[in-house]
Structure 1
């Protein structure tokens, strides 16, 4: 471990990060790479459009590119291209985490799965989630305009879903703790009631397009199918520490690959994903100099910054303070922003 290299905490993005403005990203950063050629060949054999075709030849359509079997591997490939571009002479990745589907990307980034095996896992889960498409997700903030936590509002939101759940066939659950936002998962009756009960706030409540009720008991059928279909997934101890959706650390020297498989294709699918806890552990246990979010896009940046403000990391206490630090020396680097990506690339 070199003292001259900057320490990076890598935060892998989840679903919803590849949109019209990200179309062409993969071609720009990975065209001609051996690994992308392998990914494309596997999709061609499976009768699916290749990632290169989706990213470079087929004009972006949310109804096509947003489908799980396309969106998930596209996001994975864009993130992988960014991670492989980080200059290892200047930067050391000390831990890896992710948001929701980003956990699968983290498994590959941290070495718990080979890149091709991570690609298979991500494509399989994206397909199974899309085929089932049980329920949906709704996003709502609980911080103020300066991204400062409003704990009473958070308590009220959690009390609201408890009250609505179970009435008139409604199912509602906390799905993801996402910085200054809560993601709720539920069935259509539950989400409709929740959307009606929440006070409108700018673009919120926001229903997430083509998202199932991830990380809730509604995914038990998908969990069972995934355990059967991916029973031989070749998990191994990671090369660098991984932080999961509970804030648990999987270390290179003490991780049981079977337990890692069991969490990934078990609890993680049906229980709330605490992205905020994963970040808290990342910054407190691994003391990174910077936090890096690989592309595509930069939509996870806001939620990450909101979480850092909750922790008071590096003295951050508001959106204004965060933006001032970013202008001075970026603590958070979103590789989906080209000017920030160039800071890391060799």
Structure 2
């Protein structure tokens, strides 16, 4: 019996110490593809992806860099997507932030090599420029119950800070029950000062993350458009859901518009991951949401997005967990037990 699935690709921050060696552990059979990625890195004078994955130790300072994390996450996520079981029919693909580039490859709008070119180029440009930073702050509590009033209060505080001379602060990613905020140092510090510490860890700064999805990234978008031509893009073979909730349909996609969005709006404007997941649920009603690896942290944001949409009557974390225990709707391939359910 066929299982329908929406594949969701992760962004930065998902290749951490536990993931070191992910490619060698799970995808040794994909070395031909990985060596092609290595060759592209060598052309750019960069360390090979397979060597990075085989490193003897993990350091945050190195592995959180855009020019290191991005190609590793791309290689792992795409390899996971290629390993899905034969009985799984992928009805749509989406991703979070950098995961949009991976989704383009999983959906066939970029070849594996061209997808790698896009990811490696943009990750390197982000690192070279490193404009601004990011932090994460929740607007829901540990029960995941939606709190639109608290969300509005936080966004009002962001707007207040952004209006102060010399302060840049904006919503970067709408991420389930979390807000990812981005801005310059004084803008980020102002928010950290104005809001209480919650759940013993937030607001949380993200290491080596620039002010993604804000106008501060305009120079990166401009350089990306110069380096990455529209000829890299082709018609997707699977429906793609972008960071606005827009669906790009096979056979009906203007590839110039797709290029323009990917290296324009997607870089400098808010990425609404919550809406992309909810669009996937409502438009495609899949049996499963499959989050590719590495890591499994994105699965929480997917679950929170579904809870906010009251998907299948799941109104909070307890209801989601009850559904997962009886009939799982979410599989995170970064978890060994759930990878087995997705790969057969």
Q: Which category of TM-score, normalised to the shorter sequence, fits these structures? A: over 0.9
Q: Choose 274-283 or 58-67, whichever is displaced more.
A: 58-67
Q: Secondary structure at the match of 2:305?
A: helix
Assess if the C-alpha contact under 8 Å between 2:230 and 2:256 holds in 1: no
Label 1:184 to 1:233 Cα distance change in 2 as closer, same or farther (>3 A): farther
Q: Which residue of 2 aligns with 1:155?
A: 152
Give the CA deviation at 1:232: 4.4
Equivalence for 1:256: 254
Number of residue pairs matched by the alignment: 342
2:167 paired with 1:170: yes
Asked whether the 8 Å contact 2:240–2:248 carries over to 1, the reply is: yes
Match for 1:26 among 23, 27, 46? Answer: 23
By how many angstroms is 1:31 displaced?
Answer: 2.1
Q: Which runs of 5+ in 2 are unaligned?
A: none
Encode CA deviations 1:273-314: one digit per residue, 9 max, x unaligned.
Answer: 000111111000011001000000100011111111000111
Pairing partner for 2:134 from 132, 137, 162:
137
Report 1:45-64 matches (<5 A).
45-64=43-62
Q: In the alignment, what sits opposite 1:92? A: 89
Structure 1 unaligned spans of 5+? none
Q: Measure the CA separation in 2 of the matches of 1:197 and 1:289.
A: 42
State the alpha-carbon separation in 1 of the partners of residues 124 and 246 from structure 2: 27
Are the equivalent residues in 2 in contact too, given 1:30–1:36 (CA < 8 A)?
no
Other-structure match for 2:122: 125
Aligned to 1:318: 316
Distance of 2:207 and 2:130 partners within structure 1: 11
TM-score, normalization: structure 1? 0.97
Q: TM-score, normalised by structure 2?
A: 0.97
Number of the residue aligned with 1:186: 183
Q: How do 1:233-252 and structure 2 match up within 5 A?
A: 233-252=231-250
- C-alpha distance in 1, partners of 2:89/2:222? 37
Task: Give the Cα separation in 1 of the matches to 2:268 and 2:95.
Answer: 17
Deviation at 1:58, TM superposition (A): 4.1
Contact conserved, 2:94 with 2:240, CA < 8 A, in 1? yes
- Measured against aligned partners, the alpha-carbon deviations of 1:234-290 in whole angstroms (never above 9, x if no partner) come to 101100000000000000021011110000011111110000111111000011001
- Tell me the distance in 1 between the aligned counterparts of 2:47 and 2:28: 16
Q: Aligned to 1:218, what secondary structure does the other structure show?
A: helix
The match for 1:213 among 211, 214, 217 is: 211
Residue number among 284, 287, 308 corresponding to 1:286 in the alignment: 284
SS of 2:182's partner is: strand
How far is the alpha carbon of 1:233 from its aligned partner? 4.4
Match for 2:304 among 303, 306, 310? 306
What is the CA deviation profile of residues 36-88 of structure 1, one whole-angstrom value per residue up to 9, with x for unaligned ones? 11111221232211111111134111111111011001001111121111012
1:17 corresponds to: 14
Equivalence map 1:101-120=2 (5 Å): 101-120=98-117
The SS at the match of 1:169 is: coil
The answer to whether the aligner puts 1:146 opposite 2:135 as a matched pair is: no
